[in-house]
Each structure stands twice: as structure tokens, then as C-alpha cells.
Structure 1
Amino acid sequence: MRLLDIARSAYVGSPVGLRRSIAPLMAMVPTSLKYGRAYRTWRSNVTRSVHDADFVDAERRRAFAELLAIASRSPFYREILGGVDLTPEDISRLPVLTKEDLVSAGMNALAVPRSALDAGNTSGSNGEAPFGFYLDRDRSVREIAFIHHVWSRCGFQAGEPRAMLRDAYLYDRKGFIHEWEAALGELRLSVFPMTPQDMELYLDLIDQRAIRYLHGFPSAMEMLARHMLATGRRLRLPLMGVFPISEPIFAHQRETIRTAFGDVAILPFYGMSEKAIFAGEVEGEPDTYECEPLYGIAELVDDAGVPITQPGREGRLVGTSFITRGMPFIRYDTEDRATLVRTAARENCWRMRVSNITPRRKPAWLVDCDGRRIVSTDFTPSDPAFFDGIKEFQFYQDTPGVCVMKYVPSESGTVEQAVEIVAALQRKAGDAIRFEPKKVDTLVASKNGKRPFIDQRLSV
């Protein structure tokens, strides 16, 4: 089945023209083949790992031993590992590795020939260059098993169609704002510019295909939800699940989405392009995530690389991947931060829990006049009515103690409404931060259309 697993990954990553030409053929492949035996095995194992500690213990030891054996073929890792037999309990004896370490190692970090791997990269932001890396070609089936495990909580099954709000320019073609990807069951909807006319069309398309699941950037989902609330539009069939990706989802966004779409399940997960850690949000505990032990070994460490064991302490998320091994990621510093809720232990099947994950490139904090970080979500009420008159908004900060609320007014929105919102924020912030409104035509977005909640230019 590995050949089919590689084929699935190759299709998703193939050039645009080729993918479009073979999509009709791929759409004819039965779901049982698109998600074959390897997928079903992984799904079964992930489900079992929730409650069977003996199974998890055996699997993580086996996977860790295999990873180290493969990594030892790499000149870079061979020197780090030193030929010593290690178990998962010994992992803190190894150094924490940064992007800079792997960039410096170059091709010496590869444990298999370059020709056997797919190239990947992080997008880069805040003036930093993208980070290039390599992934196993058959990783897709393993990755999707963990994603579907999270989504299945609302009844989702492999092959069911989804509406996706996640790309600025579909197939890199400006003005091309929607596409039905029959092979993957994805109704792809551009997140830029998302005019009222665009959003009406998107809702029509969702209705036409009887889609029950919405997948994509929370900022774009919030815009669509605000449009529905402003116009009174409703979907023909209620959504069963909302799957946020790539951006943190805030309390006010959850409430806006549920006000527009009904009491729908919202199921975010934490992951990354490098496939080092995967964690699903704990049911009933927003912003608390449980790391998957079959995906790899997740750690929370302090600035010296020492594991954090005291709940309530913040640290860096470090991951050792079992999902992709051709360029091993062993004690890889994700540069994201989180707060420990519970450590990984036998009694919880090695499922570490963390909260308040803060991606370094998408900060969820503001800086007060004394230079201290303040979590921005403390200022924004969850009630959608608080933002009446605003289509979308964004906090911008380049000066400690001063935050500009950039906003795009709704069609009937007024300056007075924006001033009232800023006044309410100011009352809550007191003297720590001065809020200023600024009307704009559009908000800053990354090249793929993500609109960060905070455009933070300070580093503290």
C-alpha cells in the first residue's frame, strides 16, 4: 500500500496544471482506495492509543528505536546520537535542535537520498527567511489519520465534502475565487477579497453541494459568519462541524461562528508544516490541547531545554516526529510556546496537555506602556454584538502602550460605532494601553490570505 500512500501525497503536491488535468480521474477512485489499509490501520491505532497504555508504550518505543536507527544514517545525527542506545525516557539527554541547526547541517541532516523526499518550507514572516526542509513522500496517509481522528468527533467520515476557506489565490490565479476539487471532495473558496457578493456566492455553492463541514482560516470563517448575521442569510442544511486551521481561534470568533451557523462543533488542532507535533483540542476545554503520542514525542521545555513538569508553567514546545523520518526532527524547537496542563505519563497514555499555545509568528499578545505582554483576548468580548458595524478588524502595534484598531466597516457601519468599540476596549485596558481607531479599506494579510488577529511589530 505504500505506493498508493505516495500517490496520494504526490497528487496533493503536484503542479497545478497536472493536478487539474488528472482530477477527474482521481475523483473516480473509490474512497476505500483513496483511504486504504494503511489509513485504516493508523485510524484504529490512534483510537486505541486514547485508552490502551500498554499499546502506546510498545508503539512509542518501537517507533523511537526505528527513528534513531534511520537518523544514524545521517552524518549530522550520527554525531549527535553517538551510537548510544536510547529509550523515550532518555530523550532529554539529546540537545534541543533549532531551525538554524538544521539549516547549517544542510544535506547532512538527511537520512535517505534527497530524491526520495518532498521539499517543504515554512512561509516565513516578521522579516525572517522561510525555513526549508524535507518530508517523507508517504506521510500523507499518516497525517490525515490524526486529522480525521479529531474531526470524527462531530461525525465526519473520510470522503465527505468540505468547504475550504484557506487560499488567497486558487491555483495562483488572481480573480479565480472558487473551485470544486472533486478528487478530494473540497469546495475551495478564496479568502481574498471576500466581498459581500463573493460571500453570497460561497453560501450558494455550499447549499448546492449540501456541504455540512467548513474548513479553513478562523479569520475568514468569522467574516463569512458576520456576513450571514448582517444579511440574515442561513444555510439550507446546518453545519455539523467547523475545522479551524493555521491561525489561533479566539473566543469572539467561536461565538460569532456559532451565532451564525448554530451550535456547531468547532474542532481545531495544533500542527505544523514540519510534522513534529500534533494535538487536538480537548473536548469542552477551549484552548487546551492534547498531544498525540503515536505522532511523536511532544515536550514542553524551559529556555535551557530542561523538561517542564510543574503545571501552570510556560515553556517552548519541542517535538520528535514519528510521522516523517527521511529528514529526522528530533527534539526540534517549534519556537511556539504553551503552558503545561499535565505531563505525559502512563496513567494518561503519554498524552501531554498544554494550553494557551502561542505561535511565535502569530503573537496573541499586546505590549503595555511598561513593556509587559498582555494577552489580547482579555480585551475582546465574545458577544458578536460588541462588533456591530464592523466587517473585520485587526490590532496593530509598533509602539509599547499604543494599539491601533484597524477596521473595515460593514455596509451600514458608522465611525461612531467604531469609536464606541474602542472606548469599551479602553475602559477595560485602563492606563496600560491606549487604543486608537483607524478605518482602512483592507487589512494586512499574508501572501496566502491569512489575516492575523494582531499585526504585532514589537518583540518582547
Structure 2
Amino acid sequence: MSLMDVARGAYVRSPTFLRRGLAPLVSLVPTGLKFGRTYKHWRKRIARAHADNSWAAAEHLTALRESVQRAHASSPFYRDMLDKALGAGFDLSRFELADLERLPILRKEEMRAAGDGALTVPRATADRGDTSGSNGEKPFSFYLDKDRSAREMAFVYDNWSRVGFTESTPKAVLRGFGLDPKGMYITEWEPALRELRLSVFPMSPEDVGHYLDLIDQHKIRYLYGYPSAMELMARHMCRIGRQPKLPLKGIMPISEPLYPHQRRCITEVFGPVPFANFYGLSEKVLFAREIDNEGRYEFEPLYGVAELVDEDGIRITEPGREGRLIGTSLTSKAMPFFRYDTEDRATLVALPSDANGQRLRVERLIPRRKPDFLVSATGNRVVTIDFTPENPRYFQGIEEYQFYQDRPGYCTIRYIPTEDGTEQDALRVATGLGERAHSQIIFNAVKVDRLAGGRAGKRAFIDQRLDISKY
């Protein structure tokens, strides 16, 4: 673990005031040094895996065996799980891919219960991560390697390189609910990372005109962010009749599924721009890149082991069948995941094999976290993927929740309290969200016994009753 590998990740995750102070100095660091040796090492490994399927398959198995052995030696939770599933004394150095099916499928509930027992390093030497608890579920806390940033970016930049993007290329960024909670500013130029950061709320047609001015000023040719935000920006561009002066060279979606109608809307406005789409998880378990414009994905064999199973946990082998996506991490050391239920779904295209470098190929990949919109008092869509903070303490006193909207500018938080939760907890959340929405959406809270669900029993994060196509 090199100092630069840790420093880059620390800089990216540091508070805004600290980043702004350091940005001018960091921007002077040569690009190659900023990314470091670990980044270069992984870029070479990824390139070799693409060129040599036999090598990729061998490294895939080696990494799995090393991960299993490390978990057994250092994690009480995994030691117990492996001994129960395989028998005490099993030679883990001879672990095979087929042996994975002997292990139980783990859900968030089991990982929560395992706590520090799932760690293979002292907790103080790892970084805590949290899922946002979308769809009303409880946030899930886990731990990540401190030096993960350079390794993660190697996979991401390899994928982006397909559309000509490099480490020194500037990009416009549409992600994050708002850059400033008080709405004092809606854009930020990050010189160290060469990012023009654009708030997704508020994003009025007037805001988009300003965004385009800055895109022209910085001569930006790549757009990165949430597909829902890109779609909204494209719609506003149609309203104001504006285009960037320089045509875009690439679209790089993140965090949400990219739907066909969004792809069509974006390309109709920006032109036939290539997409460099990929699939990943906050837990750093799996990574897949889209291999065509038809929504087919291949999983990276150096990053994780991907499986598709049916509702009974049996591996799916017939192309065309849909199943649950299960992942085993190969790059995460602090808190590995074995046969982790991602809660996402996909349809099998081709099974992994040594011949294809152990790359599972799927289509119709449906992440558990879908894009949703609220509508403000002015009739503008509000991108909500980062609407609620990831800090689990934000929803203290609330067991489950769901947003309901049937009137622009107004939203009801339907909630089920915890045993010790009070009405004041719900009102605190409603007030906080109103402030984050800059008072363009008024929130109220209603206690309920249960939340509305769909046919499969899953709940939408937002029970949206407005005709969203009108906004």
C-alpha cells in the first residue's frame, strides 16, 4: 500500500473546504504521479486479461483461493462459515470455483449480524462505507480498503478508455443532489481532478444554459453522471435550443440503470455519442462493462466472481433465464464478500468458462436502486438518487419509509417508526429534506402500519402518482 494510493482516495473523500484549499497544489502534481504505481499495475493487469483469456481464468482462480485463505485465517465469521460448509481441515489452497456453490448465499442481514467478525483487518485500518437505504430499507454499513481508490479507478478508466477518455481529460459531472445544501452555488470547477461539477438540483432550463456556458469555457467533451440527470439536462437543452459548441465524444453513466428511452433522449439531443457504461456496487463486489449498445454486460474476472441463481439459490445455466445476481469479491481485503446477494437481477447470456476468461455475460441487468423523480412547485423534475443522506443516523427513529407524491411541490413521507421512534423524528427528517430541496418541495410525515408494495412485494422508493412525462 503506497502513500499516494491512500492520499488520492483521501483527497476525493475529504470535506469541500479542505479540498478547495488543496486543489491548486494537487493540480500541479503530474497526472502519472497522482494515479500512482498501483493504478498503473492494475491497468496492465486488466489489459492483459482482455488479451489473454487463459491468463485471466488462472488469475481469477488464484485470487479466489487467496481471498478464501485470508478470510479463514483472519475473520472469525468466515472461518466458522467455511468450516461448516466445507468441513474442518479442508485444503483451501485447492479451493475450486465449483466449491463456491457449497457456501451459503449471504444477505445484508447476515453481514450486519456478523459485524466486525467479517473483517480481516482491524477496523481502524479500514474505511467505513454505507448504502443509502433506498426503497425504504435500512442503510447497510460495511468496510473498504483504504488504498482502494487507485485500484477502482483502474477498472473505471479502462472502461472509459473505450470512448477515448484518459486520466488528463476534463469532464462535466452530473451527480450528487446539490453541491451546496444552502443553494449558494450550483457549479464547481475541481482543477485537481479536472471536473466541472454541476448540481442536479435545482436544474432549471436557466441553470442548464449556465452549465453549457461553462462546458464551452472549459472545452469539455465528456459527460459523466446519473442517466436520469443527463436525460433531464437533455430535455432542458431542447427547451432552450442550446448545444455545446464542441460535440461530445463520450457519455459515461454512473450509479443508475441506463434505460433505452434515456439513451434515445440523450443521443437525440447530443448526437450519436458513444456510451461507456458499467455496473458496480458500493460494496466493491463486482464490476461489469457494457459490451454493446443493447444492454449486454461482461463481468471483470480480476474483480470478482459473478453468479446467477434462481429463487432457490440454484445456479442458472440456461441462456435466456433471469436470476438473482450473486457476487464474490476478489479485490477487497478488509471486508471480503462471499456469495453476496446484490439484490440485483439479470438474464443469462453466456456462462463463465476458461475459454472466455471466466466472464459471466448477462443482459437486462436490473439494479435494485432505480432512478426516481419528485416534481417541484415550479414543475421541474428533482433527481432523487442522492436525495437522502447515507448517514444511517439521519433516519434515527424510523424503521422504514417511502415517499408519496400526487401534487407538484408537495411530498408525504410515509413511515413506520422504530420501537423508540417518535413523531419528532419524522418531523425532523421532513424539515431537513425541505431544506435540502430549497423549499421547492414541502414535506409532511404520516405514520403508517405498512408501506405500499408492488406485485412482487417490492416497494418503490417513491410512490409517484403524477404523470412524470408531463414534467
Shorter-chain TM-score: which interval?
A: 0.7 to 0.9
Say yes or no: does 1:358 pair with 2:358: no
Match of 1:11 in 2: 11
Aligned residues: 391
Match of 2:126 in 1: 117
Closer/same/farther in 2, CA of residues 162 and 63 from structure 1, 3 Å limit: same
Contact 1:408 1:442 in 2 (8 A): no
Say yes or no: does 1:134 pair with 2:133: no
Say yes or no: does 1:222 pair with 2:231: yes
Which one is further off, 87-96 or 326-335? Answer: 87-96
Q: Distance in 1 between matches of 2:248 and 2:159?
A: 16
Match of 2:276 in 1: 267
Q: Distance in 1 between matches of 2:411 and 2:50?
A: 41
Say yes or no: does 1:325 pair with 2:333: yes
Structure 2 counterpart SS, 1:319: strand
Closer/same/farther in 2, CA of residues 278 and 408 from structure 1, 3 Å limit: farther
Structure 1: stretches of 5+ with no match in the other structure: 364-392, 397-404, 411-436, 450-454
Structure 2 counterpart SS, 1:214: strand
Instruction: Give CA-to-partner distance per residue, 1:208-267, whole Å, 9 cap, x none.
Output: 000110000111111111122222211111100011111111112111111111110112
Match of 1:298 in 2: 306
Aligned counterpart in structure 2 of residue 87 of structure 1, from 96, 100, 106? 96
Q: Distance in 2 between matches of 1:188 and 1:406?
A: 22
Closer/same/farther in 2, CA of residues 459 and 18 from structure 1, 3 Å limit: farther
Closer/same/farther in 2, CA of residues 196 and 13 from structure 1, 3 Å limit: same
Match of 2:418 in 1: none
Instruction: Give CA-to-partner distance per residue, 1:376-416, whole Å, 9 cap, x none.
Output: xxxxxxxxxxxxxxxxx96x9xxxxxxxx999868xxxxxx
Match of 1:38 in 2: 38
Cα RMSD for the two superposed structures = 2.7
Say yes or no: does 1:256 pair with 2:224: no
Give, as a single letter, the amino acid of the residue that structure 2 aligns with 1:283.
D
Q: Distance in 1 between matches of 2:346 and 2:40?
A: 32
Closer/same/farther in 2, CA of residues 203 and 185 from structure 1, 3 Å limit: same
Match of 2:219 in 1: 210
Contact 2:171 2:194 in 1 (8 A): yes
Structure 1 counterpart SS, 2:134: coil
Closer/same/farther in 2, CA of residues 169 and 456 from structure 1, 3 Å limit: farther
Closer/same/farther in 2, CA of residues 456 and 359 from structure 1, 3 Å limit: farther
Deviation of 1:279 (Å)? 0.6
Contact 1:213 1:242 in 2 (8 A): yes
Q: Distance in 2 between matches of 1:215 and 1:253?
A: 14
Closer/same/farther in 2, CA of residues 163 and 4 from structure 1, 3 Å limit: same
Q: Distance in 1 between matches of 2:183 and 2:275?
A: 30
Match of 1:25 in 2: 25
Structure 1 counterpart SS, 2:223: strand
Q: Distance in 2 between matches of 1:108 and 1:300?
A: 27
Contact 1:179 1:188 in 2 (8 A): yes
Q: Distance in 2 between matches of 1:46 and 1:31?
A: 20
Match of 2:355 in 1: 347
Q: Distance in 2 between matches of 1:201 and 1:406?
A: 20
Deviation of 1:77 (Å)? 0.4
Match of 1:236 in 2: 245
TM-score (norm 1): 0.79
Closer/same/farther in 2, CA of residues 93 and 330 from structure 1, 3 Å limit: same
Which one is further off, 263-272 or 17-26? Answer: 17-26
Q: Distance in 2 between matches of 1:274 and 1:170?
A: 24
Match of 2:75 in 1: 74
Pairs within 5 Å for 1:57-456: 57-72=57-72, 73-82=74-83, 83-84=89-90, 85=92, 86-170=95-179, 172-284=181-293, 286-362=294-370, 440-441=408-409
Deviation of 1:185 (Å)? 1.2
Q: Distance in 1 between matches of 2:324 and 2:379?
A: 38
Deviation of 1:444 (Å)? 10
Deviation of 1:202 (Å)? 0.5
Give, as a single letter, the amino acid of the residue that structure 2 aligns with 1:321.
S
Structure 2 counterpart SS, 1:36: helix
Q: Distance in 1 between matches of 2:296 and 2:126?
A: 33
Give, as a single letter, the amino acid of the residue that structure 1 aligns with 2:327.
G
Structure 2 counterpart SS, 1:348: coil
Contact 1:290 1:353 in 2 (8 A): yes
Match of 1:421 in 2: none
TM-score (norm 2): 0.78
Instruction: Give CA-to-partner distance per residue, 1:414-436, whole Å, 9 cap, x none.
Output: xxxxxxxxxxxxxxxxxxxxxxx
Q: Distance in 1 between matches of 2:210 and 2:149?
A: 31
Structure 2 counterpart SS, 1:265: coil
Closer/same/farther in 2, CA of residues 172 and 109 from structure 1, 3 Å limit: farther
Q: Distance in 2 between matches of 1:329 and 1:241?
A: 33
Give, as a single letter, the amino acid of the residue that structure 2 aligns with 1:296.
G
Contact 2:298 2:361 in 1 (8 A): yes
Closer/same/farther in 2, CA of residues 197 and 321 from structure 1, 3 Å limit: same
Contact 2:205 2:240 in 1 (8 A): no
Q: Distance in 1 between matches of 2:262 and 2:53?
A: 36
Instruction: Give CA-to-partner distance per residue, 1:284-321, whole Å, 9 cap, x none.
Output: 4x221111111111111112222111111111111111
Aligned counterpart in structure 2 of residue 458 of structure 1, from 411, 435, 454? 454
Instruction: Give CA-to-partner distance per residue, 1:170-218, whole Å, 9 cap, x none.
Output: 1545332111111111111000010111111111111100011000011
Match of 2:49 in 1: 49
